[in-house]
Structure 1
């Protein structure tokens, strides 16, 4: 990237921080880090006495990436890590998906997984109050779920790893939910059970009611479908003419875990992890790291800049559908809104004209 393009980008980032006040929780107990062109975290062990000093730093430096610790410390600026005086860490999940440029379908899938993590696991199974959970768009390819519940704050790495492994289904085999009694009855989970057993029973019933052919064409028959559902509610899974009952349910079982957190189990277990600061800009997109209210969010909500136009030359074929969107071939010169110009430059898809 040319120096004039770097300057153009940094000027926009500085303009954003000059006009926005970030007010993160427990500023004085958090460690901060930032990065620019070389690495997302070029420096860490930064500490600020209050939000005002943090904001002054952001306005002066206008970093591309800003992160803060999930941990609380007595001396957040101390080095090495052992001297900080660890006071516990928030429980955090990083749900991510692979996409070269923004893909609305993938975005919605990850957002749905984040909501499912909260609604199906954290609230009913872990007993976390919703007011102690924050859902945050990462600014790029996914979402962060922050749990501010003191019951989890002092958990160590191993306990956090177990939670993430459980949620992502590591070691999960739905076939272990079933046994066969002396009368050849297949006994299995009921929908009112907790954990993965109950979740699996409810999922199967849901498929039977909405897409019965996914399991077997035999369930297109109302009577057969009703008989099987009633059996599941009783915990008897052999009330059907369908052979190989347990094996035929393998496709449904694939939807049990929250797949999006598989690759980031390490984020959850790392008690000294630095994670993107809510309200900051993401240096790979120019979009806001945005807290999400009531699960409602469109990608356009994270746009930080006005629609002032800028001319760029595309380096390759692109089709980016954010806001007004841009579509073109390599070599095309296009006039795009400022936020799309930033996005294309930061994604290395275009150059300034």
Structure 2
């Protein structure tokens, strides 16, 4: 996501702040006032771009020939050196001199329509999984960092390195004070490096673990 925002949209990396949402997914905050005026439609356009939706076959040089599903290759004058054009070109191992190779690829796919369908599947696969409702809603109030998510008991926290971030360690902000809970069903999880495999009717757990099981609907406070 950061690579898309910085590389494709030109947002300075220092203006991109990543937070774990406290449950499923991450929030990407952009601290740049020039983006504040974006309305729902503009945000929807960004969602489509980031998700890889709606890329035209013509944008990477494949054009429908008149009178059928045949295709011919004519690369755009601006080349294939940036954005989705570059991503697709790298995936297909082509450049602006690869007219014959791209023509053969289109023929192997079965023609213009089949190539376009394959291109759509490819870009969606390469794109970012993003919640369009959250992103396009200009009235949504986002959770404050440090607050707990009621669906998990985990906190919204800033992420320094998304690759090494572990929400079941780094987002367990409640302490180790013991709390008694009553189990509704067998439950298990790994939190802060400890494996919990709960089968008895009641248990006494650290607060962060008790909150997790209660918020997940697997237990109630005893």
TM tier relative to shorter chain: 0.7 to 0.9
In the alignment, which residue of structure 2 is the partner of 1:255? 125
Structure 2 counterpart SS, 1:327: strand
Deviation of 1:193 (Å)? 2.4
State how far apart, in whole Å, the 2-side matches of 1:179 and 1:235 are. Answer: 15
Q: TM-score, normalised by structure 1?
A: 0.50
State how far apart, in whole Å, the 1-side matches of 2:148 and 2:8 are. Answer: 34
State how far apart, in whole Å, the 2-side matches of 1:334 and 1:187 are. Answer: 68
In the alignment, which residue of structure 2 is the partner of 1:243? 108
Gapped regions of structure 2 (runs ≥ 5): 66-70
Aligned match for 2:159, one of 288, 292, 298: 292
Aligned match for 1:312, one of 181, 184, 187: 181
Deviation of 1:341 (Å)? 0.5
Deviation of 1:342 (Å)? 0.8
Aligned match for 1:327, one of 183, 186, 197: 197
Report whether the alignment pairs 1:140 with 2:17.
Answer: no
Structure 2 counterpart SS, 1:255: helix
Deviation of 1:321 (Å)? 2.5
State how far apart, in whole Å, the 2-side matches of 1:335 and 1:316 are. Answer: 15
In the alignment, which residue of structure 2 is the partner of 1:98? none
Report whether the alignment pairs 1:151 with 2:34.
Answer: yes
Contact 2:134 2:140 in 1 (8 A): yes
Report whether the alignment pairs 1:179 with 2:63.
Answer: yes
State how far apart, in whole Å, the 2-side matches of 1:240 and 1:169 are. Answer: 20
State how far apart, in whole Å, the 1-side matches of 2:106 and 2:8 are. Answer: 34
Aligned match for 2:141, one of 274, 278, 284: 274
**Aligned residue pairs, count:** 205
Deviation of 1:268 (Å)? 2.5
Q: TM-score, normalised by structure 2?
A: 0.75
State how far apart, in whole Å, the 2-side matches of 1:188 and 1:343 are. Answer: 54
Deviation of 1:279 (Å)? 2.0
After TM superposition, the structure 1 = structure 2 runs for residues 13-162 of structure 1, keeping only pairs within 5 Å, are 117-119=1-3, 121-162=4-45
CA shift in 2, pair 1:302/1:201, >3 Å: same
In the alignment, which residue of structure 1 is the partner of 2:221? 352
How big is the alpha-carbon RMSD for the aligned residues of Structure 1 and Structure 2?
Answer: 3.2
Contact 2:177 2:207 in 1 (8 A): yes
State how far apart, in whole Å, the 1-side matches of 2:106 and 2:136 are. Answer: 46
Residue deviations 1:279-320 (CA, integer Å, cap 9, x gap): 222222222210111434111111112334334332123232
State how far apart, in whole Å, the 2-side matches of 1:273 and 1:288 are. Answer: 19
Deviates more, 1:295-304 or 1:138-147: 295-304
State how far apart, in whole Å, the 1-side matches of 2:214 and 2:156 are. Answer: 18
In the alignment, which residue of structure 1 is the partner of 2:68? none
Report whether the alignment pairs 1:302 with 2:171.
Answer: yes
Report whether the alignment pairs 1:169 with 2:39.
Answer: no
Deviation of 1:242 (Å)? 7.9
Contact 1:188 1:235 in 2 (8 A): no
Aligned match for 1:200, one of 55, 67, 88: 88
